[in-house]
Amino acid sequence: MCRLFCVTSDEPQSPMLALGALDVMREGHDGSGVGLFLTDLTGPFAELKDKPILSGIFTKDGLRRLNDFMNALGFWPLYRVVITTDKEPPPGTPKRDFYLIQVYEYPDGWENLDQEEKEFRLMMTRLQLRWMGEEKEDIIVFSFWPDVIMIKEVGDPLLVGEYLRLDRKELQARVIMAQGRQNTNYAINLYACHPFFIQGIATMTNGENTAFVPIREFLLSRGFPGYTGYQSDSEVFTHILHYALKKLGLKLEYYKHLITPLTDEEIKRHPNRELLRRLKLACRPLTIDGPNCVIGCLPDKTVFMVQDRKKLRPGVVGGRPGFYVLCSEMCGLDFAAPDRDKSQDFQPMHLDTVIVYPDRREVRRCSQMEPLPPLH
């Protein structure tokens, strides 16, 4: 198993808060790797909030190829953080040439594109870089999107954070997601490391999705180039959410009805019974199986948590207005928010979706048995 941590805060937080929380939950993960998703950024990144940020790992040759490729497309660098170190890496962590976080100016003419086309081109640029890197093993790209930074590496999360000096001020963010484990079922591949990301949407999962193959095949059949990769069975959770929001035009409250639909008897008692009956029939291939806790973030910085149909993985939410934590274990919540009102802590069950909106005023609890918001 692995462990998950997410914080959404009015005040910027350091990634080391998340890595510290993973460390106190270390009995639940094997310390084999770490993935970080940062958004609602601060400092120089906040001043360039609308510009795309590239996050990845590069060899010296890979960095040269990146520069040539981006120059040819018309992207020009505006600001960057390059992480290099002469220190000996932690046990199990490879020595890398460059961890790069670079902000770009859009090419000429992009200001005339509609939002959907701009988002599609950003995604395709990321995928082209990924394919280039896989060919020569010199480029690994995690995200290329405004107001998003992603860092992934093999090794103990806390030691990796200290090694890369992730406590630096320019990496503080108001929303941070962290996962503590590499996919050790197969050969280690950083593209199998959570959180997963597509067009502003990120999710991470503690669990196992035994329905992975039919879900993957359904997504691949949609003809959308972003539905690719799948080095981990958990990446489909991100793509299902993207499909629900971007392709079907649904709201977050519908997500659970896709991945863990109600039984036919429960649907008969639901206020939106006819809609749910049709949705279940049309999206049946997206139903997950197995134990899973999913934490995610939407483009507007809303964060959420959902559970599998039998609540077979731990998850808890707590905090105070302006600062909320969603994580796997109570000890992680205690570490990050020791002064909260613990009577307000909530452990979502099999029907629940827990949502914290960008205003961070409260934790909203939604049940699958409640009426759904209108589609339009």
Per-chain mean pLDDT for the chain: 95
* 304-321: pLDDT as tens digits: 999 999 898 999 999 999
**What pLDDT does 182 receive?**
55
Does residue 343 belong to any structural domain of this protein?
A: yes
Does residue 376 belong to any structural domain of this protein?
A: no
Does residue 375 belong to any structural domain of this protein?
A: no
For residue 267, the enclosing domain spans 3-367
Does residue 142 belong to any structural domain of this protein?
A: yes
Q: Is the pLDDT of residue 30 over 80?
A: no
The pLDDT confidence band at residue 26, using thresholds 50, 70 and 90, is confident
Does residue 374 belong to any structural domain of this protein?
A: no
Q: How many residues does the chain have?
A: 376
The pLDDT confidence band at residue 187, using thresholds 50, 70 and 90, is low
**What pLDDT does 124 receive?**
98
Cα distance between residue 192 and residue 155, in whole Å: 14
**141 closest CA partner among 219, 223, 213, 52:** 52
Does residue 71 belong to any structural domain of this protein?
A: yes
If one counts the domains in the chain, the total is 1
**What pLDDT does 362 receive?**
98
The pLDDT confidence band at residue 27, using thresholds 50, 70 and 90, is confident
Q: Is the pLDDT of residue 31 over 80?
A: no
- Number of Cβ within 10 Å of residue 114's Cβ equals 8
The pLDDT confidence band at residue 188, using thresholds 50, 70 and 90, is confident
Q: Is the pLDDT of residue 184 over 60?
A: no
**What pLDDT does 323 receive?**
98
Q: Mean of the pLDDT values across residues 347-363?
A: 97
Q: Mean of the pLDDT values across residues 270-298?
A: 96
Share of the chain above pLDDT 90, in %: 90
Alpha-carbon distances, residue 312 vs 179, 289, 325, 352 (angstroms): 18, 11, 20, 13
Q: Mean of the pLDDT values across residues 253-282?
A: 97
* 201-254: pLDDT as tens digits: 999 999 888 899 999 999 999 999 999 999 999 999 999 999 999 999 999 999
**What pLDDT does 189 receive?**
87
**What pLDDT does 2 receive?**
82
Does residue 323 belong to any structural domain of this protein?
A: yes
- Number of Cβ within 10 Å of residue 298's Cβ equals 19
Cα distance between residue 137 and residue 362, in whole Å: 45
Where does residue 55 fall: left (phi above 0), alpha (psi -120 to 50 degrees), or beta otherwise?
beta
Instruction: State the virtual CA torsion across 193, 199, 202, 208 in degrees, nearest 10.
Output: -60
**38 closest CA partner among 223, 207, 166:** 166
* 114-124: pLDDT as tens digits: 999 999 999 99
**What pLDDT does 279 receive?**
97
Query: Tokens at residue 129, please?
Result: 């870089």
Q: Is the pLDDT of residue 328 over 90?
A: yes
Cα distance between residue 141 and residue 131, in whole Å: 10
Does residue 373 belong to any structural domain of this protein?
A: no
Where does residue 203 fall: left (phi above 0), alpha (psi -120 to 50 degrees), or beta otherwise?
beta
Question: In CATH, what number is assigned to the domain containing residue 313?
Answer: 3.60.20.10
Q: Which amino acid is at 357?
A: Y
Q: Mean of the pLDDT values across residues 115-139?
A: 97
| 314 CB-near residues (< 8 Å, 6+ apart) | 28, 206, 293, 328, 329, 347
**What pLDDT does 32 receive?**
78
HSE of 205, CA atoms in CB hemisphere, 13 A: 23
Q: What is the pTM of this model?
A: 0.96
* 63-105: pLDDT as tens digits: 999 999 999 999 999 999 999 998 999 998 999 999 999 999 9
Cα distance between residue 17 and residue 9, in whole Å: 12
Q: Please give, one letter per residue, the 3-state secondary structure of the chain.
A: CCCEEEEEEEEEECHHHHHHHHHHCHHHCCCCEEEEEEEEECHHHHHCCCCEEEEEEECHHHHHHHHHHHHHHCCEEEEEEEECCCCCCCCCCCCCCEEEEEEEECCCCHHHCCHHHHHHHHHHHHHHHHHHHHHHCCEEEEEEEECEEEEEEECCHHHHHHHCCCCCHHHCEEEEEEECCCCCCCCCCHHHCCCEEECCEEEEEEECCCCHHHHHHHHHCCCCCCCCCCCCCCHHHHHHHHHHHHHCCCCHHHHHHHHCCCCHHHHHCCCCHHHHHHHHHHCHHHCCCCCEEEEEECCCCCEEEEECCCCCCCCEEEEECCEEEEECCHHHHHHHCCCCCHHHCECCCCCEEEEECCCCCCCEEEECCCCCCCCC
**What pLDDT does 104 receive?**
98
The pLDDT confidence band at residue 160, using thresholds 50, 70 and 90, is very high
Q: Which residue has the tokens 């510009």?
A: 51
The pLDDT confidence band at residue 375, using thresholds 50, 70 and 90, is confident
**What pLDDT does 183 receive?**
54
Cα distance between residue 84 and residue 94, in whole Å: 12
